[in-house]
Structure 1
Amino acid sequence: MKRIAAALLILSMLLVTACSGQKQTPPQQTPGQNQTQEPSPGTTKPNTLKLTGDVDTTKTLTTFVNIEPPPAFHGNPYDDVAGLNWSVQPLLFVPLADYSPLPNREFRPAALESFKAEGNTLTMKLRSDLKWSDGSPLTVDDVMTMFYLGAAKTTIWQVAESIEKVDDSTIVVKFVNESPLNLNLVLPSFIMTPQKHYGELAADLKTYIEQYRVFDEATGRYKFDPAGQAMIDDINKRLSEYKPDPLKDVLFSGPYILTGVTSAEAVFEANPHYYMDVQIPKVRALRSAGGESFATAVLQEAFTVENGGLSPEMTKQVEQKFKNTLRTIYVPEFSQIGYLFNYQMYPFDNPVVRKAFAYLLDRETLITLAEPGSFISDPHASGMLPSLIPAYTNAGFVDTLPDYSYNPAKAEELLTSIGWKKVNGKWANEKGEVVKIEISTIGSWPSLMYPSEAYATMLKEQGFEVEFKPMEFAAMVDYMNKAQHQIACYFVPSMSTYAHPWEVYNAAYLGAYATRMNMPQLEPGQDRILVAPSTGKEYNVTKILADLYEATDEAEIKQLTQELMTLTSDLVPFVGLIEKTAPFRIYDTKLSLAEGELGVPQNSFFWYGNLNTMLAKQLRAGELYFVK
C-alpha cells in the first residue's frame, strides 16, 4: 500500500506540473506547444525516440559537464568544486543501483547482482565480474570503504545500526528504524573509493564511528560525540587535500575512463574492464564555460544531446534552425531555482530584510526570462515545490502562510519598520549608510543569469545599490560554500533525489545548503534549534526531520511537513523562483534512446535525473546507441 501511495503521489505531481494553471514561461514556450515533431518532406527526422537498425559504434556522443578547467581540476570525487563532481560521476563510476521515482519508486541493480529489503535490514550482493579500470577486482572491501567515507560526507551512520561485510559478495545494512527513505540513502551511491587509495582514511573513519558514535534517544538515531571533533577535522582536512591526477592516478568503476581534459572539453573512452560492453565507445563532454559560448556551441551543432538552459529567445532560434532534425522532450527534475540569502551576513542576518527582498521578487516578470518548462515556485517561501504541496499538506494549509508575491509597498513597510529610509531616492539603513547589495550567479546558465540580472536591475530601480556578479560554475559553488555571497541565485533545496519533503528541509537546515546559506555551524551531536521570528515558537528542526524521515502515516507526514513549511516561510532563508521541468534536446537523428513521447513531460524510469545520469542509466539498459 505504501508503494502504491508513493506512486500515486508522483503521478499526481506530474499531472499538476504538466497541466497546472501556474504562471510559466510565455505560452508559445510551454512544453509541447511549439515543437515541430513531424519531419518536413524530404528530411530524415524521426518521430520517436527509440530507433531501429544496425548499431553504429563509430560515432562519438557529445554531452556537457560542469567541471573546473585544468590545472585546478583534479581526481577527488568528494570535491564538488574542482574534483570529479556530480556532472562526470555517472560516466566514470557505477552506482549500486539505478534509481527513479517514475512512474513508481524503483531501484534496478547495477553494481549489485541483487538486493533484498526486509523491515529495517538491507542485504546486498555484489556482482562477481566487477573490476576497476586497471583490471583489478572491485570487491566488497571497496564498497565498505565507500560506506566508511560516508561518515564524513553523508548521514548513513546516523540511521544505520550497522554495516557489515558478510562474505566476499555480501553486505548487510541494519537500519535503526524502518523508513521509506533508507534505500535512497544507500542504493544510488556511486562506487568511487578503491580501498588501496582510500583505505587509510576509511580505517580512521571506522575508528571514529566506533569511538565517538552515540545513540540519541530523543531523535531515535545516532550522533557523533563532540569529543571526536579534532579527529573528524583531521580526516576531512586530509580528504580535502587529496588531489590525484584525474588521468593517471584515479581508478574508475563506470562505463568510461577519462582520457583527456582541456579548458574546453573532457574526453571519455569506454572502460575496457567494465562489466558490460557499451554501444557508444567514446563520449565528448563540453565544459559549460559561459552562456554565450554554450549557446554558440548549440547553434554550431556541437552537441548530440543537451539539456542546458537556453533563454526563450535562444530556444526559438534553436528550434527554428533545427526544425527538420531536432527532437525535444521534457524531463521532470523535482528541482527549484531561486535565491539563497547569507543567513549571517549583514543585512540578510535580519529576517525582516530577507522578507522585504522576497516581496521585491517579481516572479511574474522574471519567469518570462527563464527557459521553457519553468513554472513559478511557491510564493509563500515555504521551500516546497508547488506541484507537491497538495500531496504533502492538508487542503488550504498553504494559504495560511504569508504570501510574498511581488509587493514593493509591503517591502518598504518592512524596511522602514527597522529604521531604513530613502534619501534622495536611495535606500539607507538605520545609521544613514547606503547598503550595498550583491547578487551572484552562474553566468553560463540562462535560467540563473537572465532572471538574476533583471532582479538586480529591478532592485536598482527600487533605490538599492546593487552589484550583479556572474561567475563560472566552479567559482560560484566555491563562493557559496565559503558563504561569501549576500544573495546567490542557484538551485535551492529541492526534492531531486527522494521526491519527499524531508529532502528539502534536511538540505536547507542540516545539509550542504545550510553551509551555503551560512546557517550557524553545529557541533557534532548538536541539534538545529531555530526560533520563528514572528511567533517566538522554538523548533527543534533536527528532531522534526528525524521524525519525518521515519514517518509512514500520511497524517503525520503532513503535520511534520507543515511545521517545517511554517518555520521556513517565517525565516525566509531562501526564496524559490522556478520549479523546473527541463527540456532535453536531441540533435542527432541517428541516436536511439529509451522510449518516450516527444514534446511533453516524461513519466518513465529512464527519464529522470541529471543529463549524464540519464545517459549512463540508458547505456546500462542497452537503450542508448547510434544506428547506421
Structure 2
Amino acid sequence: MKKAKLFKALAVTMVLAMSTSLFVGCGDDSSKNASTDTSAKSIEDSVTQVKTKLTNAKLDGEKAPVEGTVLTTMTSFTPPPAGHGNPAVNGGPDWSVEPIIYDYLCDYSSQPQKTFKPSLLEKYEFKDKVLTMTLKKDLKWSDGSPLNADDLICNTFIDMTVNKIAYFADSVTKKDDLTVEIKYNKDANLLLDYILKSSVKYSASEYGKWAEQFRVAFEKYREFDDNKNYKFNKDGDKLVADTTKEFNNYLPDILKIKCSGAYVPTKVTSSETIFERNKYFRTPPLIEKIRGLRPTTTESTAIALMNKEYDAEGMGISPDLAKKVAENNKDTIRQLLVPEYSSFGFCFNINKAPTDDVRVRKAIAYIVDKAQIAPVSEPGMRLGDEYGVGLPPSVRDKYLSKDFLKTLANYTMDKDKATKLLEEAGWSKKGGKWVNSKGESPEIKIAGVGEYPAFVVMGEAAANMLKDFGLNATFTPKEAAAYNDYSTSGDAHMVVDGFGSPTNTQHPYEAYDGIWWYGKKMNIKFPTSGGLVFKDEVTGKDFKYSEKEMELFSAKDDKEVSAKTEEFAKFFNDNMWYLPVTEKYYIFRIHNPKLSMPEAKTGEQLKDFYWSGTTSAILGKSLRSGQMYYIK
C-alpha cells in the first residue's frame, strides 16, 4: 500500500513536470519576443525559501564514530563493462568522481577571492617567473607506494597542454624527491590557476612511459611562434599525437588503479559505485564509505529522492519535484544555492545540413524562446547569454561593456528575424511547413541526456518551438553513459551541453579554451597539427583562434582581458556555434540532518571557498579538509 501511494505521488509530480515542458514548448505566433509569465526568481524562491528547521550546512554537536558511516550521493560514471580507469578517456573517472579519488596540488577557488590552499603540496613559491612546488613528506598512493616528485613530473607532462606548460614553460626540473621547479617564459595572471589546481592522477610507475614521450616532445620539438609563445613543430605534433593515441588505448580496471585521493573505488555496478577510505591517505576522512548512485532516468532519480536515498546531492530536477521534496522534508532538509559559473544550451553541428548554414543557425536562435525555457528547466537556472558570445552573463558582464554588447546581434526571440534569415537561406513556407531550396523539409535532430531533467526540458521545448514555427525538429533523449560518444558523432544537429563554462577560474580564457572538447560536439574539423584558424562566416576573414587564445591567456590586466575577449565575443556572435539558454546556479540539498558540512547559510546565494563550482568539487574539498562528517 505504501509503495502504491509513493508511485501515485510520483506520477502526479512527473505529470506536473511534463505539463511544464509542454507549456514551454508551445508559444504563440507573435513575431516579437514574448516575455515569460514565469519569473526565474519566483521559481527559485518557491524552492529555496521553504522554511526549514535547520539553517546552516554546519551542525553543532559531537562527531559520530567514523566506523559504519556511509555518504550516499550522486556520481556520474560509465558502468561495466565499458567503464575503465583511465581518467583521460571517455568511460574513465570523470568530473564527478575525480575529486573523490584524486587529490590536488592545491584546493582552489576563485570565490570570494582567488585562493590556493595547499593540499598535496607543502608549499609553493612563484618568483621571477619560476614556480617551485614542494610536496608534503611521506605521501603515498592507495597501494602504499610512495607519491613523490617523479609522479608530479609524470602528471605535469601528461597534462602539459591542459596545465599550459607546453606553451609557456622553458623547463621542468626535478630538484629532489619532493620538489619540482618550472621555469616560465612569461608572468601571466593565469599561470598558477592552471598548474596549482591540477589533480595528481597518473603514477610514474604506471604512466611514466607516456610521460617520458611527452617530455621528449616538450624538450626537443618545440619552437617559438611570432608572439614568443611555444608551439610544437611538425615532429613534435606527430610525437604528441602518436603518444596520445597509444595512451588513450590504455584502459585499466578502475578497481585496480592507484588513487591519490581520500577514497578508492571498490565496487562498481550498473547503478552504483562504492568508494572506501584510502588507508594511506595523508589525513583520514571522517566518513568511512561513499555510495555514489548513478542516475539512469528522471523517474529513477525522482524515486530515489522521494524515498530519501540520498544524504546530499545537487542534482537538477524539475521545479515541481524540488518544491515537493523541500516542503515534505522541512524538519530535515537544508538547501544551499550554489553558483557554478557555467552555461547550458545547444552546440550546433556546423558541418551537417541544414545547420551548416549560419543563417539557419541564427534563425533557430531567434525562434527558441530562451527566457521561457530557462526558469522552468531547473530551480536556480537563470537566463543565459542572449548574445551568444560564449560566456555566462556573470562573467560576460565583468569583461564586456553594455556599449560593446549593443554592437552585437541580440538573439532574444524574434520570429520576424527568423523568417527573414530562412528566406535569405533560400527557404520558403508551404502548407505551414518550411522547405529548403530543394523543396525538402530536412529533419533537425536535437539530443540531450535523458537522465538530466534540465536537458530534457531544453531539448523538448526547443523541438516544440521549432515545430510550431514550421520546422521539422525532433528531440531524442540519450543515455548518459553513451552521450559523449553520440554527441561527438556528428549525427545530431543540436546537442544540449555546456560550452562557455569557466567554472574553475571565471575567466574568459577557460570558456573559449573549451573549444577543444565542445568543438567535437559542434562537429568542427580540427587540424591534425598546428593551431586553430576558423573562417568568420560574416566577415569572411580568418579568425586565428589559437593565436588569440594565447593573447587572452597572457593579458596583464582586466582592461586587456576585455579587449581580447571582445574579439572572441564578436566571432561567436557572428557565427552562432553555440546557443546559450541558461546560466547554471543549482540547489545543493543536504537531506541527512546528522551530516555536517562547511559553514554556509541556507536559502542564500553563496560565494565561498567551499561552496562554488560542481557538486563533486564541493564534496572533495569538504571531505579532504575534514569538514564533512556525521554528528551523534
Q: TM-score, normalised by structure 1?
A: 0.92
Greater CA deviation, 319-328 or 582-591? Answer: 319-328
| Counterpart-to-counterpart distance in 2, 1:157 and 1:565 | 26
| Counterpart-to-counterpart distance in 1, 2:386 and 2:505 | 23
Q: Cα distance, 1:233 vs. partner?
A: 2.9
Q: Cα distance, 1:152 vs. partner?
A: 6.3
CA spacing shift, 1:399–1:152, aligned 2, 3 Å: closer
1:30 aligns with 2:44: yes
Matched-pair contact (CA < 8 Å) for 1:268–1:283:
yes
Aligned counterpart, 1:78: 88
CA spacing shift, 1:460–1:395, aligned 2, 3 Å: closer
Aligned counterpart, 1:466: 473
1:96 aligns with 2:105: yes
State how 1:475-514 maps to structure 2 within 5 Å: 475-508=482-515, 511-514=516-519
Matched-pair contact (CA < 8 Å) for 1:226–1:523:
no
Matched-pair contact (CA < 8 Å) for 1:256–1:270:
yes
CA deviation string 1:496-545 (max 9, x = no partner): 0111111122223xx2122221223123223x233433333443222222
Aligned counterpart, 1:271: 278
Aligned counterpart, 2:628: 624
Aligned counterpart, 2:116: 107
Aligned counterpart, 1:175: 184
Aligned counterpart, 1:16: none
CA spacing shift, 1:470–1:33, aligned 2, 3 Å: closer
For 1:299, which of 287, 301, 306 is the aligned residue?
A: 306
Aligned counterpart, 2:70: 60
Q: Cα distance, 1:30 vs. partner?
A: 1.9
CA spacing shift, 1:27–1:335, aligned 2, 3 Å: closer
Aligned counterpart, 1:520: 525
| Counterpart-to-counterpart distance in 2, 1:230 and 1:23 | 56
Matched-pair contact (CA < 8 Å) for 2:495–2:521:
no
Greater CA deviation, 29-38 or 439-448? Answer: 29-38
| Counterpart-to-counterpart distance in 2, 1:543 and 1:485 | 30
CA spacing shift, 1:24–1:197, aligned 2, 3 Å: farther
Q: Cα distance, 1:446 vs. partner?
A: 1.1
Matched-pair contact (CA < 8 Å) for 1:115–1:122:
yes
For 2:79, which of 69, 73, 87 is the aligned residue?
A: 69
| Counterpart-to-counterpart distance in 2, 1:584 and 1:410 | 39
Greater CA deviation, 327-336 or 227-236? Answer: 227-236
CA spacing shift, 1:251–1:225, aligned 2, 3 Å: same
1:453 aligns with 2:488: no
Aligned counterpart, 2:6: none
For 1:407, which of 391, 395, 414 is the aligned residue?
A: 414
CA spacing shift, 1:327–1:73, aligned 2, 3 Å: same
Matched-pair contact (CA < 8 Å) for 1:493–1:513:
no
| Counterpart-to-counterpart distance in 2, 1:143 and 1:132 | 12
Q: Cα distance, 1:33 vs. partner?
A: 6.7
Aligned counterpart, 2:20: none
Matched-pair contact (CA < 8 Å) for 2:106–2:116:
yes
State how 1:123-134 maps to structure 2 within 5 Å: 123-134=132-143
| Counterpart-to-counterpart distance in 1, 2:546 and 2:482 | 31
1:594 aligns with 2:608: no
Matched-pair contact (CA < 8 Å) for 2:109–2:610:
yes
Matched-pair contact (CA < 8 Å) for 1:22–1:376:
no
Aligned counterpart, 1:43: none
Greater CA deviation, 260-269 or 411-420? Answer: 411-420
Matched-pair contact (CA < 8 Å) for 1:381–1:575:
yes
State how 1:150-549 maps to structure 2 within 5 Å: 150-151=159-160, 155-216=164-225, 218-247=226-255, 249-508=256-515, 511-526=516-531, 528-549=532-553
SS at the partner of 2:215? helix
| Counterpart-to-counterpart distance in 2, 1:582 and 1:421 | 42
CA spacing shift, 1:38–1:468, aligned 2, 3 Å: closer
| Counterpart-to-counterpart distance in 2, 1:408 and 1:571 | 19
| Counterpart-to-counterpart distance in 2, 1:233 and 1:301 | 47
Equivalent residue letter for 1:69: P
SS at the partner of 1:524? coil
Equivalent residue letter for 1:54: E
Q: Cα distance, 1:252 vs. partner?
A: 0.8
1:145 aligns with 2:159: no
1:571 aligns with 2:575: yes
Q: How many residues align?
A: 596
Equivalent residue letter for 2:72: T
Q: Cα distance, 1:154 vs. partner?
A: 5.5
Aligned counterpart, 2:58: 50
1:608 aligns with 2:612: yes
| Counterpart-to-counterpart distance in 2, 1:579 and 1:99 | 22
CA spacing shift, 1:34–1:514, aligned 2, 3 Å: closer
CA deviation string 1:85-125 (max 9, x = no partner): 12111111111110001111001001101111224221110
SS at the partner of 1:98? strand
CA spacing shift, 1:547–1:229, aligned 2, 3 Å: closer
Q: Cα distance, 1:447 vs. partner?
A: 1.3
Q: TM-score, normalised by structure 2?
A: 0.91
Give the aligned CA root-mean-square deviation in angstroms: 1.9
CA spacing shift, 1:480–1:418, aligned 2, 3 Å: same
CA deviation string 1:255-303 (max 9, x = no partner): 0011100001000010000001110111100012121111211111010
CA spacing shift, 1:152–1:553, aligned 2, 3 Å: closer
Matched-pair contact (CA < 8 Å) for 2:367–2:466:
yes
Greater CA deviation, 24-33 or 341-350? Answer: 24-33
Equivalent residue letter for 1:71: P
Percentage identity across aligned positions?
34
| Counterpart-to-counterpart distance in 2, 1:283 and 1:307 | 15
| Counterpart-to-counterpart distance in 2, 1:23 and 1:604 | 32
| Counterpart-to-counterpart distance in 1, 2:47 and 2:306 | 22
SS at the partner of 1:235? helix
| Counterpart-to-counterpart distance in 2, 1:26 and 1:381 | 20
| Counterpart-to-counterpart distance in 2, 1:70 and 1:309 | 25
CA deviation string 1:419-464 (max 9, x = no partner): 1112222222111122111000001111111121111111112112
SS at the partner of 1:444? coil
| Counterpart-to-counterpart distance in 2, 1:113 and 1:368 | 44
CA deviation string 1:202-223 (max 9, x = no partner): 112222223322111x233111
CA deviation string 1:561-620 (max 9, x = no partner): 111111110011101100011110010001111111110111210112211221121122
Matched-pair contact (CA < 8 Å) for 2:274–2:292:
yes
Matched-pair contact (CA < 8 Å) for 2:105–2:120:
yes
Matched-pair contact (CA < 8 Å) for 1:336–1:576:
yes
Greater CA deviation, 137-146 or 533-542? Answer: 533-542
Q: Cα distance, 1:31 vs. partner?
A: 4.4
CA spacing shift, 1:554–1:493, aligned 2, 3 Å: closer
Q: Cα distance, 1:23 vs. partner?
A: 9.7
